[in-house]
Amino acid sequence: MESQVLKKWMSSGLWGNKIAWCAPVNVHSLDSLRQAIAYFGGVYVGIQVPTNAMEQFQAGQA
C-alpha cells in the first residue's frame, strides 16, 4: 500500500505537493532510519496490524 501512495505522490501529487523520488530504507535498522531522517528530513513508513486491530480502528475504538 505504501508503494502505491508514493507512486501517486510522485506522479500526480498529494495535498498540493509532489515528491521528486523515493528510496527504500531498512526499517529494521534504527541507524538506517536515523540516517534517512537526517539526510532527507523524514521518512514515510507503514505498519502491519492484525485484522481485528483494523476493525477496531475503523469502528473508532482504541
Q: What is the pLDDT of residues 37-56, one digit of tens each?
A: 999 888 888 888 899 998 99
Residue found by looking up cell 505504501 in the block: 2
Calpha distance 18→16 (Å, rounded): 7
Q: What is the pTM of this model?
A: 0.59
Return the ∠ at Cα 47 (arms to 50 and 30), rounded to 5°.
135
The predicted pLDDT at position 36 comes to 92
Residues 33/40, Cβ–Cβ less than 8 Å: no
Distance of alpha carbon 54 from alpha carbon 48, whole angstroms: 10
Q: What is the pLDDT of residues 1-35, one digit of tens each?
A: 778 888 888 899 988 989 888 888 998 999 999 99
Q: Where are the beta strands (DSSP E) in the chain?
A: none
44 close to 6: Cβ distance less than 8 angstroms: yes
